[in-house]
C-alpha cells in the first residue's frame, strides 16, 4: 500500500495547476490588450487620415462653389 499523501503533496497537486492556469490566463489577457491597443492606434491613424482628406475635399467644394457663384454673378451682370 502506498504511503498516505502529505498535506504538502496535496497542496502542490492542487496549487500548481491552478497557478499555472492563472499565469497562462494573465499572459493571454496581456497579449490581447497589446493587440487591441495596436489595433486602436492603427484605426486612430486611419481615421485621422480620412478626416484630413474630408477637410481637403470640403475646402475644394467651397472653392468650387465660390467660383460658380462668381461666374453666375458675372453672367447676371452682363449687358
Taking the CA atoms of 20, 21, 22 and 28 in sequence, report the sign of the dihedral they define.
Answer: positive
As a whole number of angstroms, the distance between CA 73 and CA 22 comes to 75
pTM confidence score: 0.62
50: CB partners within 8 A, 6+ apart: none
As a whole number of angstroms, the distance between CA 9 and CA 11 comes to 5
Model pLDDT for residues 41-74, shown as the tens digit of each residue: 999 999 999 999 999 999 999 999 999 999 999 9
Amino acid at each position: 500500500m502506498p504511503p498516505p499523501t502529505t498535506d504538502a503533496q496535496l497542496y502542490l497537486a492542487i496549487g500548481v495547476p491552478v497557478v499555472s492556469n492563472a499565469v497562462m490566463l494573465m499572459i493571454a489577457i496581456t497579449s490581447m490588450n497589446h493587440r487591441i491597443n495596436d489595433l486602436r492606434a492603427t484605426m486612430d491613424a486611419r481615421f485621422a487620415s480620412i478626416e484630413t482628406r474630408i477637410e481637403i475635399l470640403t475646402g475644394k467644394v467651397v472653392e468650387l462653389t465660390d467660383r460658380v457663384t462668381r461666374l453666375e454673378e458675372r453672367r447676371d451682370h452682363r449687358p
